[in-house]
Structure 1
Amino acid sequence: MYAVDLHAHTRFFHGHERAADYYDPVGVRLLAGAAGLRGLDGVATTNHDYYRAFDFGGGRPGGSGRGKSGPYAATIPGIEVTTTHGHVLVVGPDPPTRTEPGDLSPEGAVELAHDRGCAAIVAHPYRNSTVREVDADFDAIEINGKHPRTEEWVRKLADRHDLPLVGGSDAHYPVEVGRAYTEIEADDLTPESVVAAIRDGRVRPRVNRSPFNRALRTLYRRVHEEKGYLQRPEWLDTPGVGKPPK
């Protein structure tokens, strides 16, 4: 059994490509180091619309090798694709190195993922996304570490589509890594074994509900509410159907 954060970023800023080129090698060390300190075996580097392989001499560069080594958690290749309907995580041995935001449909992102031996995961389905409404051959749906209050909704969504659930922190700062993660049943921790476990349903999401993480989530909820990013399931708008989770 391995504990892997399937949704994390190596930098906390956007839109500054030149700065990112210099910062990413530092960011991945901080991310993988924090993940190791949290007891995680691996962390997927799912930066927005680009993938970059990292080799920092400890742990498993790019997801090769066996388990965690040294002070760093293993890194698993990935990318967070901005589709026409929202974000899709592509995780596995050969993610695309770059995608153009809004260029791919969710169906196109899934096809791209599968062509490259990767898993396609619906990211944060109730935040700034309508990917959940798309009929595509996804491999899993994410319980997102920023908004686990939507967990009940996401579980119902996964049941409706008969898909496994995974967990990811959506960390943009190293301190956030591991607030949600995935338990993976596998004999070895490689990108290929992660993909196989997701597709076979040998995965289980976990959420860290410490006071620190609860405070962070309250802050993110306020920010995302102000931006109008947060959404509700359609069935909650039907009288008598139930109440949203607290």
Structure 2
Amino acid sequence: MKFDFHIHAKLSKKTDFSIEHFTTILDEAKMHGLDAIILTEHFNTHRFDDVYGTLDQHFPCNGHYYDRNGFRIFTGMEVDVAEGGHILISGPKEQLLSVRKALDGYTSPDRFIPLEALFELCEPAGLMVIGGHPFRKSNHLYHVAPELLRRFDAFDLNGKDLHEIGIQENIAKVLTLGEQHGVPVVAGSDAHQMFQVGCVYNELPGNYDTVANIRAAIAAGLCKRHISPSLHLQVRAANTVKKLLKKKVEVVDSLHG
């Protein structure tokens, strides 16, 4: 199966969730040959509950993933921590939303949860925990204590960072970090809209119906990462379109305001 482990449902945190926007992302993922994604919308996005609440209305869910005509949408979210990093967590929907509920008091920058406390929430719930874009200048993770870095199930080789830092430089940094701490590395596009989808993805042998099985395959070294030859073009296009769409949203909001 082919997966993207880091993908968003919304254009930005401030925008409302649109099922029409999200389905363009799903269509693009399928066109690129992907079989599934892990949905990692920001935990403190505007009206977070609307994301999964709306998906409940449109697609059947077995507690682990939504099924859109055979395409699987595994449940997850991206969480800010006090150390400054972004953490991708995923797993059974009920456990995921329980952790989200526990984070109600930690949604503002001056109140983000410490990384160790987040692990203490996620590990008993059986959730997979991936360190997002560990070398991003604004939200890096490489600086945290080694004993915390070793608790990650994987580090994120991020599509946006591959473009901004440089493919070879970022690969070297993330792989070295993984080797130093015995943590696997997986790929995530970090797409917020369709143009960035497919810039990176993962390939795992066999069929997977739970995040637990995906995590076991990653731990066994079965994850093969792929980087699109058009990654730079895709990310540049995505950045340009995102800016234009955000301006359009701001104009509409100002008119309605």
From 158, 163, 182, the counterpart of 2:178:
158
Aligned residue for 1:147, secondary structure, equals helix
Residue matched to 1:244: none
From 136, 139, 149, the counterpart of 1:129:
139
Please show how residues 94-133 of structure 1 align to structure 2 within 5 Å.
94-95=95-96, 96-97=99-100, 99=103, 100-102=107-109, 103-127=112-136, 128-133=138-143
Aligned residue for 2:155, secondary structure, equals strand
State TM-score, norm by structure 2. 0.72
From 125, 128, 140, the counterpart of 2:154:
140
Please show how residues 1-246 of structure 1 align to structure 2 within 5 Å.
2-16=1-15, 19-20=16-17, 23=18, 25-49=19-43, 50=48, 52-53=51-52, 54-55=55-56, 63-64=64-65, 70=69, 73-84=71-82, 85-93=84-92, 94-95=95-96, 96-97=99-100, 99=103, 100-102=107-109, 103-127=112-136, 128-134=138-144, 135=146, 136=148, 137-148=151-162, 149=167, 150-210=170-230, 213-217=231-235
Cα separation, 2, equivalents of 1:12 and 1:114: 30
- Aligned residues: CA RMSD: 2.7
Instruction: Note if contact 2:133-2:140 (Cα within 8 Å) is conserved in structure 1.
Output: no
Aligned residue for 2:100, secondary structure, equals coil
1:62-116 deviation digits (Å, cap 9, x = unpaired): 6448xx763x631011100011121010022232335424421122222222122
Aligned residue for 1:131, secondary structure, equals coil
Aligned residue for 2:160, secondary structure, equals coil
Partner AA of 1:41 in structure 2:
D
Aligned residue for 1:90, secondary structure, equals strand
What are the ranges of 5 or more consecutive residues in structure 1 without an aligned counterpart? Answer: 223-246
Distance 1:118 1:81, change over 3 A: same
Tell me by how many angstroms 1:47 deviates. Answer: 0.5
- Structure 1 vs Structure 2: percent identity of aligned residues? 26
Distance 1:221 1:35, change over 3 A: closer
Equivalent pairs, count: 211
Cα separation, 2, equivalents of 1:88 and 1:34: 25
Instruction: Note if contact 1:62-1:76 (Cα within 8 Å) is conserved in structure 2.
Output: no
Instruction: Note if contact 2:133-2:156 (Cα within 8 Å) is conserved in structure 1.
Output: yes
Cα separation, 2, equivalents of 1:56 and 1:38: 26
Distance 1:152 1:48, change over 3 A: same
Partner AA of 1:215 in structure 2:
L
Q: Which structure features the higher share of helix residues?
A: 2
Cα separation, 2, equivalents of 1:115 and 1:132: 24
Partner AA of 1:181 in structure 2:
Y
Distance 1:155 1:220, change over 3 A: farther
Tell me by how many angstroms 1:60 deviates. Answer: 6.2
What are the ranges of 5 or more consecutive residues in structure 2 without an aligned counterpart? Answer: 241-257
Cα separation, 2, equivalents of 1:131 and 1:206: 23
Instruction: Note if contact 1:3-1:42 (Cα within 8 Å) is conserved in structure 2.
Output: yes
